[in-house]
Structure 1
Amino acid sequence: MTLINSNQPDFLSVVERQMQLTEAQGQAIRGLVDGIRQMQMDVTEKVEEVQMMVQEVRDSVTLTDNECYQLQSLVRIKSNVLTKDRYKETEEKFKVVVGRYRRMIWSKLKERFEVAKYSHVRRIDFEDAVEFIKEFRPEDHI
């Protein structure tokens, strides 16, 4: 009596074939995981590039109309205060001195922020521009 039937496949060859299929599946999965890792790194790199570009755009955006109006108001107020504190003559002379202070403030503001027009001050510098005007003293710029 024979234990192995000639019509049945060899048990060892079936196991070996199954092992080969499992190894091939493992390699395919490993390749898939490596591909996903690379895609993840590429996406992360692209996201960082986009974030840097967005920040560059944000940093280069200039003042809004409202912010320009606020600076104009501050310069108007500051020039009037400076004139009242330092000049006590006729109304006609008062206007001349106010005008000189306004021109000086605008000139020094543009110089400080390196712009040709005050409206070209970057939005990220708006608070600094407000502080510059509030703290402006002509003596510091003569």
Structure 2
Amino acid sequence: METDKILAVVGQQLHWSEQQGAAVRMLFDGMVAIKTEMAEDKEEMKMMVQEVRDSVTLIDAECDLMQQAVRLKSIELTKHRFKDSDMKFNEMVGRYRRMIWSKLKENFSVAKYSHLRRIDFEDAIEFVKNFQPEDYI
């Protein structure tokens, strides 16, 4: 009879251990599922943030800076080729300005310079600063 009691106690302990193991397994499986779901959500969030970054266009201050850069570059290009007193000076400034705007929009695939994406702003400024009409002739 002593053996029966011991077997009963051990059997009960084994039953509890199996229940605890099953509970731990369910907890573990749930944690793995949560981790997987969070990783997928994180990737989706990254893609959404990138889409927003890619679609945000220049703010007013950046548009002003872009206009200023084009204005300065067109005057610089004209000064290298004409004297300030030359009657064609203002006409040539306008031509260079239109050419810079045209090539800038073409290069960045936008209809209007204000549609430039903010992430392209620095590259667009560099494009204007390094613009040489001879590159497009």
Q: Same fold (TM over 0.5)?
A: yes
Superposed, 1:13-92 pairs within 5 Å as 13-88=8-83, 90-92=85-87
Query: Equivalents in 1 of 2:80, 2:9: separation in Å?
Result: 102
Q: Tell me if 1:123 matches 2:118.
A: yes
Deviation at 1:73, TM superposition (A): 0.3
Tell me the SS of whatever aligns to 2:44. helix
* CA deviations over 1:81-139 (Å, ceiling 9, x no partner): 11111123745421111111100000000000000000111111111101110010111
Residue by residue over 1:43-95, the C-alpha shift from the partner in whole angstroms, topping out at 9 and shown as x without a partner, is 11101110111012112211111111001001111111111111237454211
Runs of 4 or more consecutive aligned structure 1 residues displaced over 3 Å after TM superposition? 89-92
Mapped to 2, the partners of 1:91 and 1:66 lie a distance apart of: 33
Task: Give the match's secondary structure for 2:88.
Answer: helix
Looking at CA atoms only, which structure, 1 or 2, has the larger radius of gyration?
1
**Residue-by-residue CA offset, 1:11-42 (whole Å, 9 max, x unaligned):** 21122012111111111111111111111111
**Correspondence for 1:137:** 132
Query: Whole-Å Cα distance in 2 between the matches of residues 11 and 57 of structure 1?
Result: 68
Flag structure 1 segments of 5+ consecutive residues without an equivalent. none
> Aligned in 2, Cα 1:33/1:89: closer, same or farther, shift over 3 Å?
closer
TM-score by length of 2: 0.92
Equivalence for 2:109: 114
CA RMSD after TM alignment: 1.6
* Identity within the alignment, %: 58
SS in 2 for 1:10: helix
TM-score by length of 1: 0.89
